[in-house]
Structure 1
Amino acid sequence: MQKKTPPKAAALPFLLLFPALASAAEFDGGSLSPLWGVPFAGILLSIALLSLLAPAFWHHHYGKVSAAWALAFLVPFATIFGLPLAGGQFVHALVAEYIPFIILLTALFTVAGGIHIRGNLHGAPGLNTAILAIGAVLASFMGTTGASMLLIRPLIRANDNRLHKAHVIVFFIFIVSNAGGSLTPLGDPPLFLGFLKGVGFFWTVQHILPETLFIVGLLLALFYAIDRHYYRKEGVLPVDPTPDTPRIGFDGAANFWLLGGVVALVLLSGFWKSPVVFDVFGTEVGLPGLVRDIGLIAIAVVSYKLTSPKVHADNQFEWGPMAEVAKLFAGIFLTIIPVIAMLKAGTQGPFGAIVSAVTRADGQPDPAAYFWATGVLSSFLDNAPTYLVFFNTAGGDPAALMTTYASTLAAISAGAVFMGANTYIGNAPNLMVKAIAESRGVRMPSFFGYMAWSCAILVPLFVLSTFLFFR
């Protein structure tokens, strides 16, 4: 192994078949037609409509539908632009984005699933609000996925005798799975990408703490009022199916140490700068990222083996929610390729109007426009690459963005994290929480039903935030 000399021996047979693949990872999205976004729109509409109109079909075939839309992009793209370019895009999306994404989610899902909060909590409005507030704090230190997977099961169990509980899960997604992760790079993938680009580790907590406190504080207050209304309306609750226990405690507590290991590996991959790079069919994989991913796989395996079957049974731990996220996001990560490329083309690309809209007449960036452009696209696209697109649109210089254009970077960061809550697919934990809740018998809102909640609750808060913080 040599520095900056990627080893390619293992890739040689593949590269002999597709010799141009190694240099095919980048392409100009400015020449693409907006029609290349149809497969991405198709998978979004499938998630939104098929689960509502044909739930039985969707439940058994969502993986096939996701694969079909991925092929609807890849096959025409390979036919028109050539197999090397299509193969390069496929490998890049798989190796640089999807695999690290799924490995991290799987590790957090497994470790958090091995921690059982023992005892029967009773889901009164005060307790539910306290759980959401605790989750909001934890999200910035163990990630929105980690905090969501740790707390969603005890929250569902605490409310298992409530007649109205879908709103509890909806607000959990708003607060714990999204807004709570806005204060450190550990909280949400967009902020971690900013950290890798040179944004200081404590920059976000220093610059968007007021915005976060505003959003989370009002959401907690609104939740308490809504939950109190439903709680009083329910009157005498049905018999609680969860038996009371003498005291509250943790089973599988060793997983807390493993959770710390996950955080440490993520931090290590950000702070460790190594010149050693591996070339995987044209996509560079750095040694820190490779060590992180191998370590996360090891932690997931150790956690699963170490956790007693009783803890998994008490948590009703199953792989279904993880499988659903993995299959759907595989299609999303592939079909999103041309959409991100067209956005990266800037003002000269098919989506040039979006990029132009974030700049004022005097050539200065408009923080309010960046907040909404980043946020709206993060609601439907993966919020991590969306963050990078507008980070680069704003100049891409972390030193300037952290100082002269601090309000712009704050707007990009807040938009990517906060508005990931607008849809089920805006952030990966949203879909995981929904799947876990449904597996426990909670009747969750449909795709558009959830958006009705987000438009009614979140959008007015974002409008207020614009006038208070991003003008």
Structure 2
Amino acid sequence: MKLPARPAATLLFISLFPSLAGAAEFDAATLSPMWGLPFAGILLSIALMPLLVPAFWHQHYGKVSAAWALAFLLPFAVVHGAPLAGAQLLHALVGEYIPFILLLVALFAVAGGIHIRGNLHGAPGLNTSILAIGAVLASLMGTTGASMLLIRPLIRANDNRVHKVHVVVFFIFIVSNMGGSLTPLGDPPLFLGFLKGVDFSWTLMNILPDTLFVVGVLLVLFFVVDRHYYRKEGVLPVDPTPDTPGIGFDGARNFWLLAAIVGLVLLSGVWKSPVSFHVHGTEVGLPGIVRDVGLVLVTLLSLRITSDKVHADNQFSWGPMAEVAKLFAGIFLTIIPVIAMLRAGEHGPFGAVVSAVTRADGQPDPAMYFWATGVLSSFLDNAPTYLVFFNIAGGDAQSLMTTHADALAAISAGAVFMGANTYIGNAPNMMVKAIADDRGVRMPSFFGFMAWSVGILTPLFILSTLIFFR
């Protein structure tokens, strides 16, 4: 059963592009790689402008993001027609960006409504324990939920430390990325695989050794680094938030709302409904609508039941969420031609990337799938990148879970693990950075963070390849 949908926002686009319906497809194989320049431009802006023009960037990053989005949409409309450009815009917004941002907003609001009372001493043992707990929680409540729940108390516990940037960097590595590799709830790429037919427990059964290895090595390395700085520098003479014995939770009712978010996400993957709506070429299923409406209601309920004191104690503000929403809006739009050209396969502009993941005998090469998916996930959104290589590997969930299980494991691990390589590899990375910046932690620049990831994660991924993906 398919029903037409005409929300108010859609009517606006109809008035601008009256022939919008049915115009969502185009031949990406004929596109020039030059269409990827706006995407490269927004990445370079995120990387360089905070360093070169910090005052301008912090005041106008939303306008910069919008400018790069228009740098793709307007020329695309001129060359390929306004209806096709409008259809692409609607698909990116309705089919991808809005569900993505609603989930982030709900997790941000609900986790921001839980205050972990008490201030523990940010010693190496405690910090390592928090990262380990966060790694477990990431697969149960998502990397965003676990990150938003734990980053504030972790920063507060270490606010009397001289050197604490490494604490947040390793938090992004472990909690915001690699810990979410064991269930479809953990990270969006795995959830998309779940929607495509991958069993809920498949990643747990097949990627657990990989995850234990990378997370275990990172926890040990973090403890060594943190102990070095702790012994060398000690703590500041005055603790901004003095240590208190024991911990407790204020706003604990929000834990029920976290469970509701998990339930809504699971429901949208399990529930198969014949009812769907067509928003001019973009199909929106009833389960997705119920999930998104539920997320909005959960967000509003959390704001309603959370006291002002809890928000004040958490130093809660919408600034980090606004930054992520504005920048990812530009990313989701400028990434349209890049993902399309990848999906064009061997005959598309990026055919060399597609050919590289197949061995001479026609069988998938797990090591190449791991690196190709991972490197692209570091700079593209890791969810559509996962889908691209999922389809290149055959696209049949039953075959990928059995005959080509090594390839699916490599795709899954690459998308989740290597999202930690850059701030834009996974949405929680930028959210954590924004919160840390807001709390006075001088986080590294885009390339500065990559220096950490290249130096620490690249050797670890090479070892993982030799051990698990040969």
Letter in 2 for 1:263: V
Aligned to 1:84: 83
Q: How many Å separate the matches in 2 of 1:9 and 1:44? A: 32
Q: How many Å separate the matches in 1 of 2:148 and 2:13? A: 39
Letter in 1 for 2:419: G
Q: How many Å separate the matches in 2 of 1:9 and 1:442? A: 42
CA drift of 1:16 comes to 6.9
Letter in 2 for 1:73: F
Which runs of 5 or more residues in structure 1 are unaligned? Answer: none
Could you give the per-residue CA deviations for residues 144-179 of structure 1, whole angstroms, max 9, x where no partner exists? 000000000000000000000000000000000000
3-state SS of paired residue (1:279): strand
CA drift of 1:325 comes to 0.1
Q: How many Å separate the matches in 1 of 2:242 and 2:304? A: 28
3-state SS of paired residue (2:21): helix
Percent identity reads 80
Aligned to 2:310: 311
CA drift of 1:20 comes to 3.1
Q: How many residues align?
A: 469
Q: How many Å separate the matches in 2 of 1:13 and 1:452? A: 45
Aligned to 2:238: 239
Kindly indicate whether the alpha-carbon contact (under 8 Å) linking 2:106 and 2:298 is maintained by their aligned counterparts in 1.
Answer: yes
- 1:302-451 map, 5 Å: 302-451=301-450
Could you give the per-residue CA deviations for residues 325-372 of structure 1, whole angstroms, max 9, x where no partner exists? 000000000000000000000000000000000000001000000000
CA drift of 1:5 comes to 3.8
CA drift of 1:243 comes to 3.0
Question: What TM-score results when the alignment is normalised by the length of structure 2?
Answer: 0.98
Q: How many Å separate the matches in 1 of 2:223 and 2:377? A: 27
Q: How many Å separate the matches in 2 of 1:459 and 1:9? A: 46
3-state SS of paired residue (1:371): helix
3-state SS of paired residue (2:137): helix
CA drift of 1:6 comes to 3.3
Aligned to 2:121: 122
Could you give the per-residue CA deviations for residues 262-321 of structure 1, whole angstroms, max 9, x where no partner exists? 000000000000010111122111000000000000000110111000000000000000
Kindly indicate whether the alpha-carbon contact (under 8 Å) linking 1:162 and 1:238 is maintained by their aligned counterparts in 2.
Answer: no
Which runs of 5 or more residues in structure 2 are unaligned? Answer: none
CA drift of 1:25 comes to 1.6
Aligned to 1:196: 195
Aligned to 2:59: 60
Q: How many Å separate the matches in 2 of 1:209 and 1:137? A: 12
Query: What is the Cα-based RMSD across aligned positions, in Å?
Result: 1.2
Q: How many Å separate the matches in 2 of 1:398 and 1:140? A: 21
Q: How many Å separate the matches in 1 of 2:278 and 2:119? A: 51
Q: How many Å separate the matches in 1 of 2:205 and 2:11? A: 48
Aligned to 1:97: 96
Q: How many Å separate the matches in 2 of 1:4 and 1:440? A: 48
3-state SS of paired residue (1:300): helix
Could you give the per-residue CA deviations for residues 16-41 of structure 1, whole angstroms, max 9, x where no partner exists? 76343111122221000000000000
Aligned to 1:252: 251
Kindly indicate whether the alpha-carbon contact (under 8 Å) linking 2:120 and 2:244 is maintained by their aligned counterparts in 1.
Answer: no
- 1:2-21 map, 5 Å: 3-7=1-5, 15=14, 18-21=17-20
Aligned to 2:186: 187
- Higher mean C-alpha deviation, range 272-281 or range 133-142: 272-281
Kindly indicate whether the alpha-carbon contact (under 8 Å) linking 2:120 and 2:246 is maintained by their aligned counterparts in 1.
Answer: no
Q: How many Å separate the matches in 1 of 2:280 and 2:81? A: 16
Aligned to 1:223: 222
Aligned to 2:150: 151
CA drift of 1:9 comes to 8.8
Q: How many Å separate the matches in 2 of 1:445 and 1:246? A: 32
Letter in 1 for 2:348: G
Kindly indicate whether the alpha-carbon contact (under 8 Å) linking 2:423 and 2:449 is maintained by their aligned counterparts in 1.
Answer: yes
CA drift of 1:12 comes to 6.8
